[in-house]
Chains A and B, each alone.
Chain A
Amino acid sequence: MSSTTTTAGQPVPAGRPAAPRPPQPPAPAGRLRASRSRRRRTLTVLALLAPALLGLAIFFVYPLLASVYYSFTRYDLVSPPEWIGLRNYEYLFTQDPKVWIATLNTLWFVVFLVPIKIIFALGIAGLLVRAKHASGVWRTVFYLPALVPPVASVVAFVFLFNPGTGPVNQILGFFGIQGPLWFNDPAWSKPSLVILGIWVMGDIMIIFLAALLDVPREQYEAASLDGANGLQQLRYVTFPSITPVLMFAVITGVIAALQYFTEAAVASGVANGKAVVGEGTGAALGYPGNSLLTYTQWLYVRGFSNYQLGYASALAVLLFVVASIFLILLLRRFKAFTPEGTA
């Protein structure tokens, strides 16, 4: 941003305080005028905020309340909701055969996918900071996979890791290694998605890279003069300066993992290899052996494959409660998500 223009058309240099315009004392214009202008201002504020407020009401507050109501009903979208009290919750906590599997799968992604992705992103960013030659090319190479639409990258990975004909196992075979069944084996399907996660780590890698480049060189030099070795420099100089970024990556990563859907759903559908001629998407979700069935997919299956919208709402309410707890725990440590947070 080189310069920008004010209403009057004078260029104002950006990044510096505004042109020296002496702060004027409030005009002694009488209470009436002040209150009228204040009222006008309030109306403008309201007008500017109105769409967003309406959006919050329609697409956030109302659905939350409605979900709670639906969760006490049997509702198939063909007949009106029928009140059945706590029956859905009873089924959820004591009978649902898959909700626990789906919860554990989701937690698996929170516990493994998020940190592994962050470690790789941080490691590669660390290498890139030191690369002097053709740094732009390196960055593009490692960033590019993050751009590939998730559906496309999953379809591609299921093909690449296809145990029968995919290139990965062929190359492993060339080195005399018998490759696993990847997306077709319940024990390997989640790790396969972690590999995919590493491949697309570019977006957080770029953030780490920027943070690392921001660390002033002098700090390293000073630490070096004080006799700090490489590890100590990492501990006392690098780490403190990237902590906010790390927190950001953890929070967004956990949130993404809690709602993990697309990658797992598409991987199941494509790896299953069965033509979905008559049944529909829901039938393939979780393949192989429910190993990729995440909580949000289970909610989708109950709601939109089985058309048990009442029960799916109970799942949604539970998800809301659990996600809120996670958020409260994480957000208390992160300033930007509080109203006082500044850039």
Chain B
Amino acid sequence: MPLHSSQHARLAAVAALATAAALTLAGCSAGESGSDFESSTPTSLEGTVSFWHFFSDREAGVIQSVVDDFEAANPGVTVTVHEGQDDEKLRKAIATGDKVDLGLSYSTDVVGNFCSTGAFRDLGEVITRDKVDLEQFSDTVRSYTEFDGVRCTMPVLADVYGLYYNKDLLEAGGYTAPPTTLSELQDMAIKLTTFNDDGSIKTLGFNPMMGWYENSAAHLGPLGAAEWLNADGTSAIAGSPGWTELMEWQKGFIDELGYDKVNAFTAGLGQEFSADNAFQRGSVAMNLDGEYRTAFIADQAPELNYGTAPMPVIDSDPELYGGGYITGNIAGISKGSKNPELAWALLKYLTTDTDAVVKLSNGLKNAPTTADALASPDLEVSEQFQTFLDIMGDPHSATTPPSPLGAGYQQTFEDFWHSYQSGAVDDLPAGLAEVDTQINDSLSLVSGP
């Protein structure tokens, strides 16, 4: 039964109405706008503040214990903790409402993006108001917690990367000291490698596979004094000879063992943060890892006889030995926070209160970031952990610069490195130039005119 034109009109009206409703729904201003900081430090604090961080399991317990201390010191304040929140989730939650007051990320990579987009708010105003002394942080730490003059995050401990070695396995191979150059590392690793009857790898001296566990471009860069970005934020990769030397070394290493063999071996290894960690199980004799591994070993493999040292460096510049990659956990207050004062109080406590920083450091076995905490007699420093404090103070240590692309520029480069190590790249300089172009194009898409 066909409808008459008046009924057409009605149908059309309904459709129009529906569209209008949809447009209204979508038309609301994007994101919530949060509350502002007070002009003077509040005398008493009350309310609930939500704290998002990426830790899980044992490490989340350490964070919780410090949060408990904060709550005990501020009886009116309740902290709701959301653990296991990676950067992607954190960013989603901040962009879509007021769920997050204080957010903690595992790496400094988000700083450039979160500061420049305003996802984390500028802390300058309250830092001045509450006279927080930024001199208590080292230059490197200060540099990676701000972007373009905007300080939107505070450092919550630092991560420092070095070499772990299994003393028993090295000794069995006739070695008494860890390697200091990359070619030494390769020689020792090849000698320490054992094979199964069918020719597959049984244990490795050192796993050179890029992308495995903590093997990343960022963590290797300082070993060749390699540069990431120019002062204007564009890519400096192709023009930095350190990268070429690092890449050629890594590829030569893989090729000596056989890419397929290493790949098959790697696929059969246990998860990095589980008790099946390959270094803890003795499947690799030496490994690139962060200072926090000391806590995992104490927890999951207390019997392991191991030492730590700075990572070996490129052969062409042995002077670099002693340095390493530094990054850190950083925390900031979200744009949409309805309780910025509570969040700031908690952030201040986590990052500047000596007792809190020492307790976090002792629990997580991360490097403390304040001068007072580093000097504190309560800081527990094992022989293995001391190595990392030394690396942190070394002038050759470096970090990855903040960028509006976040970690995007590193991913672009690592993608290229992955195809290079698999043998898919014939012309390395041309490939690196292409990486530069890709990063610069991406940068101009995100922040260009």
Contacts and interface: CB of A to CB of B under 8 A. Distances in A.
Direct contact, A vs B (beta carbon within 8 Å): yes
B21 A58 contact: yes
Interface residues of B, number: 70
Contacts of B271: 273, 275
A280 interface: yes
Contacts of A164: 264-269
Interface in B88-106: 88-89, 91-92, 94-96, 105-106
Contacts of B411: 283
Contact of A42 (B10, B91, B105, B265): B10
A274 B412 contact: no
A272 B216 CA distance: 14
B88 A305 contact: yes
Interface stretch (A46-54, A123-131, A135-143, A248-256): A46-54
A181 B260 contact: yes
B407 interface: yes
Contact of A57 (B15, B105, B198): B15
Given A58-B25, A76-B95, A79-B118, A46 B11 contact: yes
Interface stretch (A87-95, A210-218, A221-229, A321-329): A87-95
B176 interface: no
Contact of A275 (B26, B265, B273): B273
B441 A91 contact: yes
Given A184-B263, A282-B88, A87 B95 contact: no
Contact of A308 (B86, B198, B272, B446): B446
Interface in B154-207: 198
Nearest to B92: A304
Contact of B54 (A42, A278, A290): A278
B406 interface: yes
A275 B18 contact: no
Contact of B267 (A97, A181, A282): A181
Bin chain A's interface residue count: 35 or more
Nearest to B264: A163
B3 interface: yes
Nearest to B56: A277
B144 to A, nearest CB: 15
A66 interface: yes
A289 B31 contact: no
A88 to B, nearest CB: 7
Contacts of A290: 415, 419
Interface in B412-449: 412, 415, 418-419, 422, 424, 434, 437-438, 441-442, 445-446, 448
Contacts of B95: 76-78, 307
Given A58-B21, A74-B446, A278-B105, A273 B267 contact: yes
Given A53-B15, A78-B31, A308-B446, A278 B87 contact: yes
B445 A308 contact: yes
Given A57-B15, A279-B87, A77 B105 contact: no
A38 B107 CA distance: 67
A234 interface: no
Given A53-B18, A95-B441, A273-B267, A173 B198 contact: yes
B264 to A, nearest CB: 4
Contact of B263 (A58, A97, A163): A163
B298 interface: no
A274 B418 CA distance: 15
A281 interface: yes
B32 to A, nearest CB: 11
**Interface core residue of B29, B88, B95, B272 (most chain A CB under 10 Å):** B88
A62 B23 contact: yes
Interface string B393-423: 0000000000001111001100100110010
A278 B267 contact: no
Contacts of B10: 42, 46
Contacts of A76: 95, 117
Contacts of B422: 186, 289
Given A165-B268, A283-B411, A306-B408, A62 B117 contact: no
A311 interface: yes
B445 A91 contact: yes
A16 B86 CA distance: 61
B121 to A, nearest CB: 11
A335 interface: no
A305 B86 CA distance: 11
Nearest to A96: B441
A61 B19 contact: yes
Contacts of A9: none
Interface in A293-326: 304-308, 311
Interface in B1-55: 1, 3, 7, 10-11, 14-15, 18-19, 21-23, 25-26, 29-31, 54
Given A181-B263, A272-B211, A274-B272, 6 more contacts: A46-B11, A77-B30, A164-B268, A181-B260, A279-B106, A290-B415
23 contacts: A42-B10, A57-B22, A61-B19, A62-B22, A62-B23, A62-B26, A76-B95, A78-B31, A79-B118, A80-B30, A87-B448, A91-B445, A97-B434, A162-B267, A165-B268, A173-B198, A273-B267, A277-B54, A279-B88, A281-B88, A288-B418, A289-B422, A308-B446
Interface of A: 38-39, 41-42, 46, 50, 53-54, 56-58, 61-62, 66, 74, 76-81, 87-88, 91, 95, 97, 162-165, 173, 181, 184-186, 271-283, 288-290, 304-308, 311
A-B residue pairs, 5 tightest by C-beta: A164-B268, A280-B88, A278-B106, A57-B18, A77-B95
